[in-house]
Structure 1
């Protein structure tokens, strides 16, 4: 299967002072999965196989709830093409 990109933004329903702590737990989980990823100010973009990335998205919801969220709104973007797509091909020229 080809490499794709999935961007994930989690918006856990927690008190304002806990939002970054919960999001940090999700990012830490993504890091532990060994997929290529980049954290942005509004979302985290991952690169890998679709099944693996969608499993990470699923687990992210569970992490938010475990960390005290009563509800989680997630925005997921998938960039898929049969031959694959990488973050480098899309934004490599903008990196310094």
Structure 2
């Protein structure tokens, strides 16, 4: 069984400023539809699942931005990986109200 990992993704599509949120929202819609566990933050979205699945989502996010008219996409990706797995809840669960 593959370990559960966390991948955070921040996409920065090069589009007119008035379209920025519109394009980012398309990426978030895709993440929601993917079925992985995720948390949306003000600067990035953190996902939980197996690494291959999450990296495929990262790849598709770039393609979505281009399809939506972005000339270029700069993305920041962070990966938290442990052989035995790591969950978002173990990191932030104690802070939930």
TM-score between both structures, scaled by the size of structure 1: 1.00
Report how many residues are paired. 96
Deviation at 1:65, TM superposition (A): 0.2
**Aligned CA-pair RMSD:** 0.2
TM-superposition CA deviations, 1:9-40 (whole Å, max 9, x none): 00000000000000000000000000000000
Deviation at 1:70, TM superposition (A): 0.1
Instruction: Quote the residue 1:62 is aligned against.
Output: 63
Task: Give ranges in structure 1 of 5+ residues lacking alignment.
Answer: none
Runs of 4+ in 1 over 2 A off after TM superposition: none
Instruction: Quote the residue 1:79 is aligned against.
Output: 80
SS at match of 1:19: helix
Deviation at 1:45, TM superposition (A): 0.1
Task: Give ranges in structure 2 of 5+ residues lacking alignment.
Answer: none
Deviation at 1:5, TM superposition (A): 0.1
